[in-house]
Amino acid sequence: MGVSRDGGPRPATNRVAKFHTPEIVVGPGSFPEAVAAAAGLGVRRPLVVSDRRLQATPWYGQLLDDLRAEGLEPASYVDVTPNPRAGEVTDGFAAYRAHGADGLLALGGGSVIDTAKGVAVLASNGGLILEYEGIDRVRRPLPPLVAIPTTAGSGADVSQFCIINDPDRRTKITIIGRTLVPNVTVIDPTLLTTAPAEVTAQAGMDTLTHCVEAYVSLAHGRLTDSLALESLTGVWNNLERLVDDPADRAAGEEMALASLRAGMAFTNAILGAAHAMSHPVGGHCDAPHGTINSVLLPHVIRYNATVCADDFVSLAEAVGIESSGDPQSVADRLADAVARLANRVGMPETLTPLGVRSDDLDLLTRHALADSCMITNPRRPEESGILDLYRQAL
């Protein structure tokens, strides 16, 4: 049994827990169901949130055409960038208000879906998006939101998280609350075929990090444990295949399901130090979130294994890593295997190529310790320990 951040037993996996998900429509060819979902929620003037890359794919035009064919009157906002900034949420809300919109569809990866969530927050709660940093600060229900993920990784389409870049502080803020869970998510693996290989790799490593952190989280439960383990196996067996061949339909379906399972796991179990440390780096250096996670996760596994090594034995067994012997050694083998997988799909070995410098580490550590994801990390984080992890990752 692992131990809690306070040194006592971890919460029992059979404790009373709430498990929250949106309505989920999943499978090849499910994309058109997004229009029916929006109409079923009473939406008549939707704002479609997407990005410039997706605008050039067939999916964007098809979605607008299908909405119009259903008798709806869509408008769109596509100026979303990776690591979306607070100003993009403000601009998206301006587009929402100008259109007289009454709901949203988010077509894209985590950045797009998080931006749509931010717009929805402002539409019903007002103010500025950075004012909602923290847990359960969004009080009023959001307008209808349908998420259509085009990557297998972020889990934003099923999660209660919204991650937005604060450019003034050069860090990402974490907004958490049940109101942020989309009403419906439509997961069509066909949409993964247009994602660039590097995006697929980044998203896949994000999924893998969700699996590991949800499984060892202090808020884990029996449902989240089973989802995390099954998702981890799916990523391990299919990520490289999909990176090598985006047209591999079987790998795409498995990765879409892995992302879904991991999303359901972490939105209910929350995350840990890897994500808490990743968010400041993403805000500071504008680097891809999944890439940062891929560098940090092996170090965080070793760090947390000092208090819950047995949990990493279970994770190692899920991917076929030799699990006999000292649990700490097994955790080290898992960490090494994660690093090798990241390397095989094109991820860097350190944070240095992403623009992190030694002079940045004190600031990054302060931001990481303040991140809400750190609350459920199994090992009590101390400033010296987190700073040392950043140093190891340089």
Domain containing residue 299: 196-393
Of all residues in the chain, what percent carry a pLDDT higher than 90? 93
Render pLDDT for 273-300 as a digit per residue (tens, 0 to 9). 999 999 999 999 999 999 999 999 999 9
Q: Is the pLDDT of residue 46 over 80?
A: yes
C-beta separation of 373 from 174 below 8 A: yes
Residue 77 sits in the same domain as residue 135: yes
pLDDT band at 20 (very low <50, low <70, confident <90, very high): confident
Look at residue 8 in the predicted model and tell me its pLDDT.
39
Residue 205 sits in the same domain as residue 225: yes
C-beta separation of 187 from 149 below 8 A: yes
Lowest mean pLDDT among 9-13, 28-32, 270-274: 9-13
Distance CA 78, CA 86 (A): 15
Residue 177 sits in the same domain as residue 302: no
Residue 207 sits in the same domain as residue 142: no
Render 310-356 in DSSP notation, one character per residue: HHHHHHHHHTT----S-HHHHHHHHHHHHHHHHHHTT--SSSGGGT-
Render pLDDT for 57-100 as a digit per residue (tens, 0 to 9). 999 999 999 999 999 999 999 999 999 999 999 999 999 999 99
Residue 66 sits in the same domain as residue 93: yes
Three-state helix/strand/coil letters over 13-72:
CCCCCCCCCCEEEECCCCCCHHHHHHHHCCCCCEEEECEHHHHCCHHHHHHHHHHHHCCC
Residue 103 sits in the same domain as residue 177: yes
Residue 244 sits in the same domain as residue 370: yes
Number of domains in the chain: 2
Q: What is the mean pLDDT of residues 347-366?
A: 97
- Supply the CATH number for residue 181's domain: 3.40.50.1970
Q: Is residue 369 situated within a structural domain? A: yes
Q: Is residue 70 situated within a structural domain? A: yes
Distance CA 253, CA 7 (A): 41
pLDDT band at 11 (very low <50, low <70, confident <90, very high): low
Look at residue 329 in the predicted model and tell me its pLDDT.
96
Look at residue 5 in the predicted model and tell me its pLDDT.
35
Residue 158 sits in the same domain as residue 247: no
Distance CA 286, CA 136 (A): 27
- Supply the CATH number for residue 303's domain: 1.20.1090.10
Residue 375 sits in the same domain as residue 230: yes
Domain boundary among 167, 192, 217: 192
Q: Is the pLDDT of residue 189 over 80?
A: yes
